């Protein structure tokens, strides 16, 4: 049943299809597209028009969002804005997963029909993306007709290719996780809240129940060798690397065929199986196709890459790795479609060292956090403290500490120290030193900051290309810390007479102007490179430095490149409302 071999990064895709092939003609109503099932519907050949495509998970609407959802959104948005900064066309998709037993039960509990219940939930997640300043081009709703048509089209193609069959299925089913678990994946536990003895998933701790039913199956086992080959050929496909190894281990140990439908008498809220309304398509097969359906699948010949496919990065939480790293690529292989280039699996945000869970109420409302601390502060905190490897514990204390010590105390302080004094001129310093052949550092600390500024753009690029957003942000913060040490070391204010005003005819000593220039370059480079993280605050910072709006792309983030800035385009004042990072309300 092996459909093809994939080479590294989908650079070529060969599709010898099983024979004989049915040549059934399928109509996708949403696309008005007729495609013969006797050939693949898309190729892997990239086009020059393909944008950089980033996705978030689509979020269940059975409960309100928490800060973990916002983290996924912001992380994806930073990756998208980084490519924008580099002048690369981009597409970002987010949205909601509206089908499945969890949503059906939540709607019933709320005494609403599923559709209006989902309408309400979808609007909440749309509001969160807007408030978190996420620049998504698409917002997926799996109840949309175009998505349902695409899923049914894919189902029919999988069926025609012989990858779907009907059989009795027995196993431990978890409504919360929307998946079956093998006997080896469940255990008897005592539920802490009720004291009941229950069978639960060893992976998630959620309750499971024994289910026996007849449904459709996907021949997942047929793709063991292809998945394993792909994992071996693309060792950096899944980030971080230890999760890539975990997925490869799971594939190597063998794959069971996957139950991909549920009886509609038990699950009515979903997409009907084509030709069999007694069955509803499994929510994870349905949901995963959002990444393709939202950018136009099934594509007309020659337009496969126009919307962005294959995705460049799927940003997901670590708890849904199996679905994205095993099921999803197997579905794509079966359809002869190129696989996503990278899957970035991030860790969880905990509260009091316990996983946030909507079912237990152990969550942080992201809207309250954004209102209290501001959007750029929250974006910075989440990407600085968030991790793809280890869980991060959410704390208002650490948000305030990051604000006081890093944003206000380091970045904001450095801006105030160099822009407010009237005893020197940033513009004069820039004119004196920008684009000179060599600064000739006078001491060790000056050599350190000069080298750090030369290295910073490449260092940030290396970490962003590795999808290490936190590492990239921390590299910039390290330079800002060094900048504060350097200005303390030089103490330029002590080298100018007290009460002196800057005079173009009698400027300050050379060491003063050189220090001012190095600090403003540190701020200019940091301001440009931090735009994907804090777009509003960094716009203000670059305005305060007088950096032209046309000189704020990554190509301008080069030490000593820009000699045109130095005259602020906004009012600089000692009032708290005029500084970059005023004290938080909680501090006052």
Structure tokens at 258: 């996957």
- The tokens describing 33, both together, are 């597209």
Integer angstrom CA distances of residue 473 from 379, 389, 454, 464: 11, 16, 16, 9
CA distance to 171, 173, 181, per residue, from 211 (Å): 6, 6, 11
Proportion of the chain above pLDDT 70, given as a percent:
88
CA angle 202, 207, 210 (to 5 degrees): 95
178 phi-psi bin (left φ>0, alpha ψ -120 to 50, beta other): left
- Asked whether the beta carbons of 449 and 483 are under 8 A apart, the reply is yes
- Residues 289 and 158: their CA atoms lie apart, in Å, by 13
Residues 317 and 328: their CA atoms lie apart, in Å, by 15
User: pLDDT tens digit string along 262-300?
Assistant: 999 989 999 999 999 999 999 999 999 999 999 999 998
> Residues 26, 29, 30, 34: what is their CA dihedral angle, to the nearest 10 degrees?
40
> Could you report the per-residue pLDDT of 459-473, keeping only the tens digit for each?
999 999 999 999 999
Question: Which residues are CB-contacts of 465 (< 8 A; sequence separation ≥ 6)?
Answer: none
DSSP state of 207: B
The per-residue pLDDT for range 343-376, each reduced to its tens digit, is: 999 999 999 888 887 666 788 999 999 999 999 9
Beta bridge partners of 166: 216
Domain 396-578 indexed as CATH 1.10.730.10: yes
| Planar angle of CA 532, 540, 527, nearest 5 degrees | 45
pLDDT at 524 over 70: yes
CB 575 within 8 A of CB 449: no
* Single pTM value for the model: 0.87
Strands 261-263, 276-281: pairing is antiparallel
Per-residue pLDDT at 204: 73
Q: How far apart are CA 333 and CA 108, in angstroms?
A: 37
Overall average pLDDT of the 529-550 stretch: 97
Q: Which helix (H) or strand (E) holds 516?
A: helix 510-529
Residue ranges per domain, the chain?
A: 8-373, 396-578
* Three-state secondary structure call for residue 354: strand
Check if 8-373 and 396-578 are the same fold: no
CA distance 25 to 159: 13
192 C-beta neighbours (distance < 10 Å), count: 9
Helix axis angle for 114-131 and 67-85, nearest 10°, is 50
Alpha-helix residue ranges (DSSP H) falling in 351-442? 366-373, 375-385, 396-402, 413-419, 426-433
Q: What is the dihedral of CA 84, 85, 88, 92, to 10 degrees?
A: -20
> What integer is the mean pLDDT of 161-179?
80
Instruction: Name the CATH superfamily for 8-373.
Output: HUPs (3.40.50.620)
pLDDT surpassing 90 at residue 229: yes
| Sign of the alpha-carbon torsion through 127, 133, 137, 140 | negative
Bin 87: left if φ > 0, else alpha if -120 < ψ < 50, else beta.
left
Is the model's pLDDT at 587 over the cut of 60?
Answer: no
């Amino acid at each position: 049943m092996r459909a093809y071999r994939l080479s590294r990064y989908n650079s070529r895709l060969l599709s010898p299809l099983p024979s004989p092939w049915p040549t059934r003609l399928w109509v996708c109503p949403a696309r008005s597209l007729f495609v013969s099932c006797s050939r693949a519907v898309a190729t892997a050949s990239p086009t020059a028009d393909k944008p950089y495509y980033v996705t978030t998970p689509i979020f269940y609407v059975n409960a309100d969002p928490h800060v973990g959802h916002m983290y996924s959104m912001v992380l994806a948005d930073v990756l998208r804005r980084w490519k924008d900064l580099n002048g690369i066309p981009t597409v970002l998709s987010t949205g909601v997963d509206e089908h499945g037993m969890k949503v059906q039960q939540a709607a019933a509990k709320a005494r609403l029909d599923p559709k209006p219940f989902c309408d309400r939930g979808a609007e909440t997640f749309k509001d969160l993306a807007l408030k978190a300043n996420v620049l998504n081009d698409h917002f997926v709703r799996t109840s949309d007709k175009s998505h349902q048509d695409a899923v049914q089209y894919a189902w029919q193609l999988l069926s025609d290719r012989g990858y779907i069959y009907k059989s009795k299925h027995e196993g431990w089913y978890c409504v919360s996780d929307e998946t079956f678990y093998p006997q080896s994946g469940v255990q008897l536990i005592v539920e802490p809240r009720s004291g009941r003895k229950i069978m639960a998933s060893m992976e998630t701790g959620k309750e499971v129940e024994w289910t026996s039913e007849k449904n459709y199956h996907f021949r997942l086992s047929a793709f063991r060798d292809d998945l394993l080959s792909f994992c071996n050929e693309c060792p950096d496909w899944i980030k971080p690397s230890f999760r890539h190894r975990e997925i490869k281990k799971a594939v190597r140990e063998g794959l069971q065929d996957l139950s991909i439908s549920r009886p509609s008498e038990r699950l009515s809220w979903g997409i009907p199986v084509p030709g069999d309304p007694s069955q509803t398509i499994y929510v994870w097969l349905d949901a995963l196709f959002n990444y393709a359906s939202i950018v136009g699948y099934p594509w007309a010949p020659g337009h496969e890459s126009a919307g962005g496919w294959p995705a460049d990065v799927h940003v997901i939480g670590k708890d849904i790795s199996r679905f994205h790293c095993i099921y999803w690529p197997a579905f794509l292989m079966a359809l002869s479609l190129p696989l996503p280039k990278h899957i970035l699996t991030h860790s969880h945000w905990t509260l009091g060292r316990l996983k946030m869970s909507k079912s237990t109420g152990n969550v942080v409302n992201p809207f309250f956090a954004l209102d209290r601390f501001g959007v750029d502060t929250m974006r910075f905190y989440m990407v600085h403290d968030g991790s793809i490897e280890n869980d991060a514990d959410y704390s208002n204390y650490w948000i305030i500490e990051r604000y006081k010590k890093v944003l206000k105390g380091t970045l904001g302080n450095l801006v105030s120290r160099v822009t407010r004094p009237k005893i020197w001129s940033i513009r004069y310093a820039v004119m004196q030193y920008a684009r000179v052949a060599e600064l000739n550092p006078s001491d060790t600390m000056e050599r350190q900051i000069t080298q750090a500024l030369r290295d910073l753009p490449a260092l940030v690029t290396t970490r962003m290309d590795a999808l290490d957003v936190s590492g990239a942000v921390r590299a910039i913060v390290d330079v800002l810390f060094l900048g504060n040490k350097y200005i303390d070391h030089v103490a330029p204010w002590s080298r100018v007479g007290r009460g002196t005003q800057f005079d173009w005819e009698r400027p300050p000593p050379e060491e003063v102007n050189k220090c001012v220039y190095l600090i403003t370059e540190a701020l200019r480079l940091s301001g440009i490179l931090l735009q994907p993280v804090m777009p509003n605050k960094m716009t203000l910072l670059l305005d305060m430095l007088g950096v032209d709006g046309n000189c704020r792309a990554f190509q301008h983030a080069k030490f000593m490149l820009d000699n045109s800035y130095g005259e602020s385009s906004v009012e600089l004042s000692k009032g708290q409302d005029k500084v970059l990072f005023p004290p938080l309300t909680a501090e006052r």
